[in-house]
Amino acid sequence: MAEVRNKQVVLRDYVSGFPKESDMNIVEGTTILKLPQGSNDVLLKNLYLSCDPYMRMLMTKVEGLDVFGTYTPGSPLTGYGVSKVLESGHPDYKKGDLVWGSTKWEEFSLVSPTQILFKIEHTDVPLSYYTGILGMPGMTAYAGFFEVGSPKKGENVFVSAASGAVGQLVGQFAKLTDCYVVGSAGSKEKVDLLKNKLGFDEAFNYKEESDLNATLKRYFPEGIDIYFENVGGKTLDAVLPNMRVFGRIPVCGMVSQYNLTQPEGVTNLANLIFKRIRMQGFIVGEFYHLYPKFLEFVLPHIRERKVVYVEDIAEGLENGPAALVGLYSGRNVGKQVVVVARD
Amino acid sequence: MAEVRNKQVVLRDYVSGFPKESDMNIVEGTTILKLPQGSNDVLLKNLYLSCDPYMRMLMTKVEGLDVFGTYTPGSPLTGYGVSKVLESGHPDYKKGDLVWGSTKWEEFSLVSPTQILFKIEHTDVPLSYYTGILGMPGMTAYAGFFEVGSPKKGENVFVSAASGAVGQLVGQFAKLTDCYVVGSAGSKEKVDLLKNKLGFDEAFNYKEESDLNATLKRYFPEGIDIYFENVGGKTLDAVLPNMRVFGRIPVCGMVSQYNLTQPEGVTNLANLIFKRIRMQGFIVGEFYHLYPKFLEFVLPHIRERKVVYVEDIAEGLENGPAALVGLYSGRNVGKQVVVVARD
């Protein structure tokens, strides 16, 4: 029975404040590439790992932030990834299948198919897309914009963290719906991407705007119908007075708040009443039954290049911690992926 | 043509901070009790006037709070009331009709029926009820709880400002829906009312709770399904971490914030995501088409005393300013009404 090296990214200890590379260790363990007798699990070779903002919440024990559970110090991180099935004890999967879903930050993983695990049927698109546009972030953008946001043709849409894994898709979905869409991001490079590659009508660098309320008034003189919320805090507070009557705020994330011991206070909530706004939190997990419908919608657009996707690829599991940590300072440009192996 | 006295409550000037009695003047003018030639308006004798929290927003010019328009300094306040038609230039109303809806804070008013004006068809209940349970606050409680809150039998409901014009009804509607309902209010007298007269399962005086989060955990060990939001600020912040998955927050008002130059910051909004909460502002104006359905629902309950209503009656228009101002310090116990004339 072959014992092989199994490099892992392990959490050292619970994190407070911004996570650092040194909060994680690269550990070189070994593993036996064989399913335990009678196991219903699948043995995976991990190819691509996904860096997602929600992972910060699993690194903490702070009450209220640990609602999705926590990582175990000394154990590898868990997350979304694209993997190849090496051996399967479950009838739905067989050796050689490509899958995306829950896995661990290591080279080889034993996972239970009771977790999220989708077989990859379409391989004429980059495999890494299944950590992004064709995976959890894609479904998040689709469900959040169409199901929670209830967009109508011609509406005004604002997206924060607009060049990120989810935001860049929300903007493109909004354009496919004939909406006017403006995105905010944290660098000139990202703003250029939004305007020149991702088809946003307008985009701005929030770090260069001293009065975000005035900025939004400038881009939305008639107000915002849908604010796709990825960041929370000050941005949300500036958006609220700029919302239109019957506006909607799908709340996908509040990444600006995850590293703060004391979150920023939002003071303009009375606008929810004045403008009759629906603000609704959602989690992609509730919407995976729509995945086949989503693929049917998005695959043709990808093939016809009507929807594009920007990825930021880090090579090698050992560069995973830096890639993950970079999310919280906005170092990534587009969807942050870590390549463990290419096949 | 009879010229009669027409006492008025007039706004002196725009208000900042908590309104005071001295922000209003009692003015003794005169009026001619005759419709102008060719007018489509109705001439009303005002009987009962309604004191409602939203009126504070009309007293200000502060950007963002003045979204419903503003009062005109030197002119009488406008608001909801119960009135008798003295003369009508409009085919839908005739002399002697009793109506409720938009009127002014004075003895006699000329109003346009293009504003909210309902004919009163049922007079076997106290006429003053049409400023409360059978008027705007009743419709607000009904629409906010049933239409926006989407309650299900057995759910856990929390109501702030629970003994107020709207809150006391939300609690009773929740009990009719077989929910568990807890109310918060600002005095022992109000807490007693909630528990002993209004049928709330539990009630507490928020002024005596030093840790509102812990208080809510005590009353809702399994969390809150519906929070009927009347106050905003600190209360909302304590509620958010205590919400259950798929909870709903109909946002009816944020009265704790209307007198503040800088509203309190709400820091726990990330719970909207974790708990997949829908928080939705509403204004009763969108729901008046349901008024006949509401009457059908609520009148039998009133007649059978299955729904009761607590009013706080101020006698005389000259006591109107004190009654109105009292809303913002919680001086009123139940729906605050001002009697101008009894018939």
Q: What is the pLDDT of residues A174-196, one digit of tens each?
A: 999 999 999 999 999 999 999 99
- Pairs across A and B, CB distance < 8 A: 111
Q: What is the mean pLDDT of residues B92-106?
A: 97
Q: Which residue has the tokens 């009743």?
A: B138
CATH of A3-132+310-339, one of 3.30.70.360, 2.40.10.220, 3.90.180.10, 3.40.50.720: 3.90.180.10
CB within 8 Å: B266 and A266: yes
Secondary structure percentages of chain B, helix, strand, coil, to 5: 30, 30, 40
More confident residue, B257 or A240: A240
CA distance B255 to B151: 24
Paired strand residues for B8: B27, B106
CA distance B22 to B221: 46
Interface probe with B: pick from A67, A269, A284, most Cβ of B within 10 Å: A269
Q: Quote the tokens at residue A245.
A: 């009557």
Q: Residue ranges per domain, chain A? A: 3-132+310-339, 136-285
Q: Tell me, what amino acid is at B202?
A: E
Q: Does A214 touch chain B (CB under 8 A)?
A: no
> What is the third-level CATH fold of B3-132+309-339?
Quinone Oxidoreductase; Chain A, domain 1 (3.90.180)
| CB-based contact A229:A252 (threshold 8 Å) | yes
Q: How confident is the model at residue A260 (pLDDT cuts 50, 70, 90)?
A: confident
| CB-based contact B285:B124 (threshold 8 Å) | no
Backbone angles phi, psi at B332, to 5 degrees: -70, 145
| CB-based contact B119:B97 (threshold 8 Å) | yes
Q: Does A262 touch chain B (CB under 8 A)?
A: yes
Q: Does B253 touch chain A (CB under 8 A)?
A: yes
Q: Average pLDDT over chain B, rounded to whole?
A: 96
* A136-285 maps to CATH 3.40.50.720: yes
Q: What is the pLDDT of residues A298-342, one digit of tens each?
A: 999 999 999 999 999 999 999 999 999 999 999 999 999 999 999
> Count of CB atoms within 10 A of residue A165's CB?
31
Q: Tell me, what amino acid is at B142?
A: Y
Residue in chain A lying closest to B57 (CA): A274
Q: What is the pLDDT of residues A14-69, one digit of tens each?
A: 998 999 999 999 999 999 999 999 999 999 999 999 999 999 999 988 776 667 78
Interface of B with A in 29-88 (CB under 8 A): 64-65, 67-68
CA A303 to mean position of chain CA atoms: 22
Residues of B in contact with A283 (CB under 8 A): 273, 276
> Count of CB atoms within 10 A of residue A141's CB?
30
**A3-132+310-339 with A136-285: one CATH topology?**
no
Q: How many residues does chain B have?
A: 343
DSSP letter for each residue of A91-140: TT--TT-EEEEEEESBSEEEE-TTSSEEE----SS-GGGGGTTTSHHHHH
Backbone angles phi, psi at A87, to 5 degrees: -160, 145
| CB-based contact B191:B208 (threshold 8 Å) | no
CB within 8 Å: B252 and A267: no
Residue in chain A lying closest to B67 (CA): A274
